């Protein structure tokens, strides 16, 4: 019998009225697929307070309280795999990897191989245990099709401190993005709220209220007709923040088929986390880590005539 790991207390708002219970829960808990959420409900691990029986297809009325019981992770056969990694920094506490595009960060239900975690387990023997057996060392994430730098904790001490640093926003992350169109303002600060898109709840969008504050700073560093290369700094870390803000400006990221349109010029969104600046979580040493641009990003820049001298 698996032990209870935690009980999550979720709140359905008025705007969630009419949403299926399984859809709502899968959207609220990162990494949970709809099918896995359905199994949680069928196993009576999801409760709508005041309702005797819940089913995956229950339609929410809004303003419900929903309790989700999370059991301890099953001991999954997460196997170390000899997958090449671009390790740009490593010491006894942390390792920084320049993630290639197309790689998922950690195993999920029904997807146990080919992830960054599988690769890390081959290259790094000691990893922090705070995130559990499925996500050893993982402190933060990048979307599957976003490339770039990601910090992995080797010790629990480093993991806890890094978590605080991300929360306190003392880790500066700088991205490069190739966007469609040119910008009137060559440098600007975007501040608004981001929340679920009620037309498509798998997506995020800029909302007037009941969202979470999102702040993005961008600077155009090169442009040609119809395309711009941006350097982007985040003051907050909301889901899909850069992609949502570029759509909001009607300057979607090239190749982003979720917040823009698919493109023959790029097979994935042209977004790359290229620089990290922070104080080492244990030693306090000031670090500035820069990762090489992936080949597909460089090719698209060359094809479009964009230049970057960073």
Please give the angle made by the CA atoms of 291, 176 and 190, to the nearest 5 degrees.
135
User: What is the C-alpha to C-alpha distance for residues 262 and 228, in angstroms, rounded to an integer?
Assistant: 17
- Bridge-partner residues for 288, per DSSP? 277
DSSP string across 39-98: HHHHTT-EEETT-S---TTPBP-SS-EEEEEEEPPP------------EEEE-SSEEEEE
Catalytic option among 73, 82, 126, 143: 143
Whether 75 contacts 133, CB under 8 Å: yes
> Does 143 qualify as catalytic in the annotation?
yes
Helix or strand holding residue 233 (H, E):
strand 227-234
User: What is the C-alpha to C-alpha distance for residues 210 and 229, in angstroms, rounded to an integer?
Assistant: 32
Nearest to 164 by CA among 174, 153, 150, 179: 153
DSSP state of 12: -
User: What is the C-alpha to C-alpha distance for residues 75 and 82, in angstroms, rounded to an integer?
Assistant: 21
Q: Return all residues near 166 (Cβ < 8 A) that are at least 6 apart.
A: 139, 140, 237
Q: State whether residue 188 is helix, strand or coil.
A: strand
How many angstroms separate the first and last alpha carbons of the chain? 54
DSSP state of 164: H
Q: Return all residues near 58 (Cβ < 8 A) that are at least 6 apart.
A: 20, 21, 48, 51
CA Rg value for the chain: 21
Indicate which residues carry an active-site annotation.
143
């Amino acid at each position: 019998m698996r032990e209870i790991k935690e009980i999550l207390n979720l709140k359905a708002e008025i705007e969630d009225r009419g949403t299926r219970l399984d859809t709502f829960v899968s959207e609220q808990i990162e990494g949970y697929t709809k099918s896995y959420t359905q199994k949680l409900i069928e196993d009576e691990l999801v409760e709508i307070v005041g309702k005797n029986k819940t089913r995956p297809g229950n339609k929410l009325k809004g303003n419900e309280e929903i309790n989700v019981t999370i059991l301890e992770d099953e001991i999954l056969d997460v196997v170390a795999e000899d997958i090449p990694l671009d390790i740009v920094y490593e010491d006894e506490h942390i390792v920084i990897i320049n993630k290639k595009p197309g790689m998922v960060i950690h195993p999920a239900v029904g997807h146990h191989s080919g992830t960054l975690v599988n690769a890390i387990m081959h290259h790094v023997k000691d990893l922090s245990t705070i995130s559990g057996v499925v996500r050893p060392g993982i402190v933060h994430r990048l979307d599957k099709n976003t490339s770039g730098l990601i910090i992995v904790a080797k010790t629990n001490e480093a993991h806890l401190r890094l978590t605080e640093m991300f929360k306190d926003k003392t880790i500066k992350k700088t991205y490069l993005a190739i966007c469609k169109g040119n910008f009137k303002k060559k440098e600007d600060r975007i501040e608004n709220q981001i929340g679920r898109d009620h037309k498509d709840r798998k997506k995020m969008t800029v909302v007037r209220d009941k969202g979470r504050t999102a702040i993005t700073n961008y600077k155009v560093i090169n442009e040609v007709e119809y395309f711009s290369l941006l350097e982007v700094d985040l003051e907050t870390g909301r889901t899909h923040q850069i992609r949502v803000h570029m759509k909001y400006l009607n300057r979607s990221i090239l190749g982003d088929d979720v917040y823009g349109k698919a493109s023959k010029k790029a097979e994935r969104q042209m977004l790359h986390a290229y620089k990290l600046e922070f104080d080492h979580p244990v030693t306090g040493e000031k670090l500035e880590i820069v990762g090489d641009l992936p080949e597909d990003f460089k090719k698209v820049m060359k094809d479009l005539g964009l230049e970057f001298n960073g």
